[in-house]
Amino acid sequence: MDRLLMFIATGAHSGYLPKAPGTWGSAVGVLVWLLLSRLEMGPYFSILAALFVIGVFSAGAAEKIVDQGDPGIVVIDEIVGQLITLSLAPAHPAAALAGFCLFRFFDILKPFPANWIDNHLHGGLGIMLDDVVAGLYALIVLQLGLWLFRLL
């Protein structure tokens, strides 16, 4: 069971890739989005919600398995955050790249309340929620950018 939980928490082991595991996890999120992007909103958000719940449990378990708080190898949070960012994006490479960059920006910057969550909530829920907030910020900016681009 530990192997399965670690497989999920580390984004199919992408969290073990060298240098910037969060960036690798976000890239996996873009690949997952490519698979899900043609779904209707209902099934898309159902899968996203399921991944969030699974992420809370697997990230929390991974903390215990490796005996470290919010270990860098855990990237299921980046995958979910990336899926939030791209949830309303058109299936276009420019939108995917912009969403990827925006999510990484907000995930690293951690504007309030993401920074508060990161510092005060622990366990799987804390690991997941700061990236949900980053994903929501990136979603808003991406949608605003896409709207402005259509006006030009």
Query: Which tens digit of pLDDT belongs to each residue from 59-75?
Result: 999 999 999 999 999 99
E strands, the chain, are none
Q: Tell me if 72 sits within 8 A of 21, measured CB to CB.
A: yes
Q: What is the pLDDT of residue 81?
A: 98
pLDDT greater than 90 at residue 150: no
Report whether pLDDT(152) > 70.
no
Rounded Cα–Cα distance for residues 113 and 139 (Å): 16
* Dihedral (CA of 31, 7, 72, 15) sign: negative
Whether residue 23 is predicted with pLDDT greater than 90 in this model: the reply is: yes
Q: What is the pLDDT of residue 43?
A: 98
pLDDT band at 44 (very low <50, low <70, confident <90, very high): very high
Q: pLDDT averaged over the chain? A: 96
Token reading at 109: 């910057």
Cis omega (within 30 of 0) on the bond before 113? yes
Q: Which residues contact 106 (CB under 8 A, 6 or more apart)?
A: 114, 133, 134, 135, 137, 138, 141
**Do 114 and 78 form a contact (C-beta atoms < 8 A)?**
no
Mean pLDDT along residues 28-54? 97
